[in-house]
A and B are shown apart, each in its own frame.
Chain A
Amino acid sequence: MANSENKQVINAGIVGWGAYIPMYRLPTREIARVWGWPEHQYKALNVSHKAVDGPDEDSTTMGYEAAYNALLRSGIDPKMIGAVFFGSESKVYAVKPSATLIAEMIGATPDTMASDLEFACRAGSEGLKASLGLVSSGMVKYALAIGSDTSQAEPGDVLEFTASSGAAAFIVGPRSESAAIVEDTYTYVTDTPDFWRRAEKPYPRHGEGFTGEPAYFYHIMGAVKGLFEKTGLKPDDFDYAIFHQPNGKFPLKVAQRLRFPKEKVLPGLVTPYIGNTYNASALLGLARVLDQAKPGQRILLAPFGSGAGSDAYSIVVTDLVEERQDKAPKVDDYLARSYEIDYALYAKFRRIYVMLPRG
């Protein structure tokens, strides 16, 4: 395989990580009840509930809280952050960066880069990889990569069963300060129109089954196999495998194809409880694994974004992980903080009802 990526030591790693999941949960059976789907339609997805953002939340507030948690774990001065990347497909402004908002909120401004990235569900991961590059090259000391989404789905579309809300953030810094170092990465992209949202349209469209084989499976397999080839690593070398999780079924299936046993996938699989948080999907899985990982363990991370592409990372946990695990709320704390709502409240929170401006 011709390889555009040089084999080199990445002199950077994850110094701090943070998660955020909103409190509200909509059971998938509620969606089926309202839209008249048979049980079979959603049970196979292996998603019991999805996390719903409250009426005063959005991708910015969620991304901020994840970033704040990452900062707490890192213990660094936010002024030292030289780049903020915000990956989302549910930005609150079509034009105006969310990255500057979060950079200002955490106190990283004005001496920093800041930009929003878009690549369906993979922009947050691209931010992570770009951060690794910036830090490794010595251009900045620390960088912040955020994946955050209040995912859109057209009411009545099957996508509605899984499109949910959440955020994950990572402070990337020098290898010596890292709780987990990134050994290597490999990225695999093609032009594959499996899922998209046209400009100024409120909901995305997708190719149903077309999102599976030629998109999700093809790109993740391509990225992971590319990483294996580049590094000589094999499934047995990893303690955890985290894949993009659009539902609770695909990650287990792709793991099987790559010969990862289920036990290595389950710790980083959060979609069955909260749905697909898009840009936070695989990254929340990584946050949950880091919450419990032991020094020396190796993690495979493979986010995916429609359109389409996947990044594969080999990550090794360092001795610093344990002292940072309790410095901020864990993914499990947010999973435990749940309040079930019905479809009517969900529709209100998500502004699905047509309301005219007043007052």
Chain B
Amino acid sequence: MAYVTSVGLVRVDRNYYKSPRDLAFEAASKAIEDVKLDTIDYVIVTSSLTYLQASQFDLAAYIARELGVNVRSAFTVEAGENSGLAGVEVALNLIRSHAAERILLVGVDKLTEYISNRTYKMIQAIYDTESDAVYNVGHAGPMALLMRLYMDRYGVDRETLAHWPVMMHTHGKENPYAMLRFKVTPDKVVNAMPIAEPITLLDAYPLGDGAAAVLLSSEDQGGDHLAKLSEVYSSIGFQSIALRDDPLSFEAVGQIAREAGLNPEDIDVAEIHDSFTITGILLLEELGFAPRGKAAEMVAEGAFTKGGSGPLVNASGGLKARGHPKGATGVYMLAEVAMQLAGTFPGIRADSPRKGIAVGVNAHGSSARLAFLEAL
């Protein structure tokens, strides 16, 4: 295990003024400003778009060099939308194997560096570029196919599904690091501009820029910490929804939930991947937070907001409202869950939470990761 010692977040936004390296610098500086450090063993940068956008190789070394701290090693981890938690997994294992005492994890990505159609082309590469993404499926297409399947199979209507983004915006409104800080109504979600029918603009994560940093320490490091990072579970899934016997099953998520022995009643807070409304809904069900076909109804009943019957889910506003700067998202999640457990999250807070999880996937679940955290 390892400790989450400190975090540094940049508000997700259309940040035209800063480059990916500027954003990474800002988040990393915040994370280490209050911690006295001589040496950081590893700087692990998680990013999936920066190489394309800034035409920069060895990004982590360039970012690390600017921190003004002695850094032994730096490298970049890429796992698409799941890059952030992949970085967490690597960091935890380095600390656990005593290869490192202190690791600074920096997630960064920008989605507004280019005009939207070019960005859509880049980010559709989260899907298999040798099958589904040979076509112009866009960033939302395959998930839209799943949303329609889900609605038909379980007889869930469009309006009920709209309660997910409604909840995310309600949560995000209280989070100073969230990109979208306004409330929406189900009606607004349903009637928003279509992105990939039946997905509307308000079902989809916004295109925004962000960076998040987390300092992880080994057990031997004294001082104050925010939370304990106990374990990261990881699995990989099919290359395409077309290969699954049930296209709606995120088998990689189910796998890690089983491995973790996840019992929803034990979890107080969760940050889960909700690139689109349907992703959030399917993850809730795959994690066992809701029976199949019932997640949207439970969301509408307030089960996953403060005071609800289930865990507090996505108090940050989720990918939907906090934002989803790809490679940075998992690092945001880790920071948010750690702050919840430490009682320092600057938004909606769970009451004395003990256990929290951060769950990420790439695309339709080509990979999945679950980070398990505990209060100190």
| B residues 119-166 touching A (CB-CB < 8 Å) | 121
Size band of the A side of the interface? under 10
Chain B 90-121 near chain A by CB (<8 Å), digits 1 or 0: 00000000000000000000000001011001
The B interface is mostly helix, strand or loop, or mixed, namely: helix
A359 CA / B115 CA spacing, docked (Å): 8
Cβ distance A138 to chain B, nearest Cβ, rounded Å: 43
A359 CA / B121 CA spacing, docked (Å): 8
Q: Which residues of A contact B115 (CB under 8 A)?
A: 358-359
Q: Which residues of B contact A359 (CB under 8 A)?
A: 115, 117-118, 121
| B residues 315-345 touching A (CB-CB < 8 Å) | none
| B residues 209-256 touching A (CB-CB < 8 Å) | none
Q: Which residues of A contact B117 (CB under 8 A)?
A: 358-359
Cβ distance A108 to chain B, nearest Cβ, rounded Å: 24
A358 CA / B117 CA spacing, docked (Å): 9
A358 CA / B118 CA spacing, docked (Å): 8
Size band of the B side of the interface? under 10
A284 CA / B118 CA spacing, docked (Å): 42
Chain B 333-366 near chain A by CB (<8 Å), digits 1 or 0: 0000000000000000000000000000000000
Q: Which residues of A contact B118 (CB under 8 A)?
A: 358-359
Q: Which residues of B contact A358 (CB under 8 A)?
A: 115, 117-118
Cβ distance A7 to chain B, nearest Cβ, rounded Å: 54
A358 CA / B121 CA spacing, docked (Å): 12
Cβ distance A61 to chain B, nearest Cβ, rounded Å: 15
A359 CA / B118 CA spacing, docked (Å): 5
A358 CA / B115 CA spacing, docked (Å): 10
Cβ distance B29 to chain A, nearest Cβ, rounded Å: 35
A359 CA / B117 CA spacing, docked (Å): 6
Cβ distance B228 to chain A, nearest Cβ, rounded Å: 46
| A residues 328-359 touching B (CB-CB < 8 Å) | 358-359
Cβ distance A234 to chain B, nearest Cβ, rounded Å: 56
A359 CA / B119 CA spacing, docked (Å): 9
User: Which residue of chain A is the closest to B118 with respect to CB atoms?
Assistant: A359
Cβ distance A10 to chain B, nearest Cβ, rounded Å: 45
A358 CA / B116 CA spacing, docked (Å): 11
Q: Which residues of A contact B121 (CB under 8 A)?
A: 359
Cβ distance B13 to chain A, nearest Cβ, rounded Å: 24
Cβ distance A55 to chain B, nearest Cβ, rounded Å: 12
Cβ distance A261 to chain B, nearest Cβ, rounded Å: 51
User: Which residue of chain A is the closest to B114 with respect to CB atoms?
Assistant: A359
A156 CA / B282 CA spacing, docked (Å): 55
Cβ distance B56 to chain A, nearest Cβ, rounded Å: 22
User: Which residue of chain A is the closest to B119 with respect to CB atoms?
Assistant: A359
A214 CA / B115 CA spacing, docked (Å): 56
Cβ distance B122 to chain A, nearest Cβ, rounded Å: 10
A9 CA / B115 CA spacing, docked (Å): 66
User: Which residue of chain A is the closest to B121 with respect to CB atoms?
Assistant: A359
Chain B 67-101 near chain A by CB (<8 Å), digits 1 or 0: 00000000000000000000000000000000000
Cβ distance A25 to chain B, nearest Cβ, rounded Å: 26
A92 CA / B90 CA spacing, docked (Å): 50
Chain A 20-55 near chain B by CB (<8 Å), digits 1 or 0: 000000000000000000000000000000000000
| A residues 273-330 touching B (CB-CB < 8 Å) | none
Cβ distance B110 to chain A, nearest Cβ, rounded Å: 17
Cβ distance B115 to chain A, nearest Cβ, rounded Å: 8
Cβ distance B46 to chain A, nearest Cβ, rounded Å: 27
Cβ distance B199 to chain A, nearest Cβ, rounded Å: 21
Chain A 189-224 near chain B by CB (<8 Å), digits 1 or 0: 000000000000000000000000000000000000
A218 CA / B24 CA spacing, docked (Å): 77
A56 CA / B304 CA spacing, docked (Å): 46
Cβ distance A54 to chain B, nearest Cβ, rounded Å: 15
Cβ distance B116 to chain A, nearest Cβ, rounded Å: 10
A358 CA / B119 CA spacing, docked (Å): 12
Cβ distance A271 to chain B, nearest Cβ, rounded Å: 35
Cβ distance A358 to chain B, nearest Cβ, rounded Å: 7
Cβ distance A288 to chain B, nearest Cβ, rounded Å: 34
Cβ distance A198 to chain B, nearest Cβ, rounded Å: 35
Cβ distance A132 to chain B, nearest Cβ, rounded Å: 40
Cβ distance A38 to chain B, nearest Cβ, rounded Å: 42
Cβ distance B132 to chain A, nearest Cβ, rounded Å: 17
Cβ distance A329 to chain B, nearest Cβ, rounded Å: 25
User: Which residue of chain A is the closest to B120 with respect to CB atoms?
Assistant: A359
B positions within 8 Å CB-CB of A: 115, 117-118, 121
Would you list 7 pairs from A and B whose C-beta atoms are within 8 A, ordered by A residue? A358-B115, A358-B117, A358-B118, A359-B115, A359-B117, A359-B118, A359-B121
Q: Which 7 A-B pairs have the closest CB atoms?
A: A359-B117, A359-B118, A359-B121, A358-B117, A358-B115, A359-B115, A358-B118
